Structure formats: C-alpha cells, structure tokens
Structure 1
C-alpha cells in the first residue's frame, strides 16, 4: 500500500503499520521513494504535509542513509529533473546536511544551472568524482555549446572548490581545441590544414600559457600529427 500513489492507500498503510508494529517513518519513506523513482507529480504535495515530513525528520539519519544507499544509485546522473526531486526530499529531511560540499538547497540551484546548459551532463559524476569532471562535461561540448559549458565551469569552480585541481576554463578549451585539431587538421580529407588551424585561434585566446603548451604537446607533436607532416 505504501508504494501506491493514492493518499488514501498511504493512510491505510500507516494505520496497518501502527497495528503491526511497523514504524511510520519507514512507511512514509517507502511511499516517498516510490513517488521519486516514478517521477510522480504527487511528491511535492507529500513533502508539503508537515506530519509526513516530521516523521522523516525524526529519523533523519536513517532516512538520509537510505536515500544515499537505495535511491541515489538508482538515478541517472543526466536525469536532472529527478535529481532535483531527490535533493528536494533531502532538503525536507535534513536541510543543513552538506553532501559533497553542498547543502540540498544549493544542489538544487546548481542542478538547474547544469540542466539549463545541457541535458547530457552527468551531475552525479560531477559532484561525486571530482577527478572525472572533464569526462562528465565532455558529452555536452560542441562548437555551438563550448561557450555555455565554459560559463558553467566558472560557476562550478566557485561552487565546488574540490573541482579546482581538475579543471579550468582554459583546460576545457584546450581539450576542445585538441579534438577539433585532430578532427579537422589531421583528417584524411583535409586539404587546407593551415586554414583549419587558423580557425582554432579563438580557442587559444581562452588558454593560459600552460594550456597552450599542453595543446602543442598533445596536438601538434602527437604521433598522428607527426606522421601526417
């Protein structure tokens, strides 16, 4: 009954639980978990019920553990709407709890910015595996999106300091310039490599000296480039 969306069935589940010694918070958690995983529009209504959320808050430590162990692993890192729901539940249960450096409310704000940038960015990977931030962003990087992803990187670096050793705006442009160099200048069909190379200048302007050196080593002096020359 607790897994059903209808309010009346939840009430019945709570009454049965009371009769048979099942704690109310466990029943409410099962209900909320079911609504979250099914993307139910009823979730916000349930979280607005103070009696239900208080049952969860009274056992916040156990609820948070269950959320992290049985709910988050079931969510796709690119399903931003569902992740917003997840952190909204966390906000209702433990609003001051910092997870991966952010309280739930700030996670919601950041997910909305990620969602506005691209539906292809894996938010869970971003916040749980800082060393893989470039891999999390890479599916979203294209000619027409590189500027918006770079803008997001600036925001990420302010909000998640743990990412700073692993990415910068310059390194993002470096990675993209290398991809473009190999795809355009080194392709078998390229007849005017100098013109194609000139088109990369707009990216060079975004790089630091260290980034430029990295580009030279990894693109200009790569095996594929040397063989073509």
Structure 2
C-alpha cells in the first residue's frame, strides 16, 4: 500500500490531455498515466495499462520513483470496491479505483478521459486510435452511470472526483481548473443516496474476482445491468439537485 497522496491526476490519452504540456508546474502528488499517456509528460509517477498493452509502446526507461501498475495490482483494488464488472471495464475507471485504494487522495482529478470520439479529426492525443470505452461490453452500457458510481465510491472515503477537461465528456464529475484544485470540497449528501444501486448490485451478485468477466458472459442479464446503471444515474442526479437547491 502506498502512502496517501492529497492530489492525484489520472491522465488519459484523449486530445484534451495535451493541455498538461502547458503546465510549467502542477500541484499533484501523483500522476497516473494510462496506456500511451506517459508520453505526454515525463513527470508521471505511475504507468497503468491492461494485459494486452504492447510492451514496445511503454516507456523504455523510468525515472526514480516511477512505477508500472499491472492487473495483479489493479484487479484486487477494483475488487475492494465491488469488482471490475461493476466498476466498468475500461482503464479510466480501473485506474480511478486503483488510485482510490492505493493512493487514497483527497481529490482525484481526470484529464484526457472524456471518452468522446469524433467521427473526424483526432480521437487521441497522438492521432486516431481505438474507442475502447465504446466497444460492445456489458460493463460499459452506460459510461455516465459508471462515472457516477466512481464518484460515490470516492466520496465514501472522503475523496472528490473532478474533471479538468473543458471538452464534451462522458464523465459526470464537476468541472474545475488547475488553479481551483485547492478549493475543491465534497458536497454534503445523504449516506443512503446510492442505497438502491448498491442493493441491486448485491442482488445481481455479478462478482468476478479474477476481473475476467468476459469469460462468464452468460451470467449477465442486460436488463439487470441497465437497472443498476439507472439507479447510479438517479442517485447522482438527486445528489446534484440537492446541492443546487
């Protein structure tokens, strides 16, 4: 287990991640680079990627203190928050839950993780790439629901999830800027707010400790998944409405 970090950045490969190159300095205690995003800035602290990430696309050398995070580390971390199936099987969420478990930040900020892929132009900072979060996958039927779930799970341990992107995004987190990170606070909300979603997850019992849920595809009922996703979205919408009122 790593020591707690106050401010943690999750950096994806979306075009919006390039804004970080303009940062002469930043306040983050850890920078978690997903897949190819280690190329954007040299001062990342953790490089996280799935099993099928080509080794030749990873960094050839590492600075002192830089670590690689593999499935052996991030699957158990996701399991402590209900498992990869409920978390959502794409790396923005996988990295988020790993950071919650191992880095225990006060603020978990995302950039380049918007999961919006235009029909023309760049889809990734390096050009065009695969729209992994849009693949046909039972865990990714609603990216907004999975983002809402991550927000609640983070809030449960006193962490605020925010989005540094100013672009269209599937992440439902509040937007903020680099200069405003020090003022980010969690809104007050009833502890029971996500109770329905959590109950539906328990009843479905779609737990896959190995993280390899695709090997058990016959177990999963799309209607039950949609009900769970809907409950997370409803809980988040209710929380936001309460904050605004």
The higher radius of gyration belongs to 1
TM-score in terms of structure 1 length: 0.25
Which is bigger in relative contact order (C-alpha 8 A, separation at least 6)? Answer: 2
Q: From the two aligned structures, give the one with the greater helix fraction.
A: 1
TM-score in terms of structure 2 length: 0.24
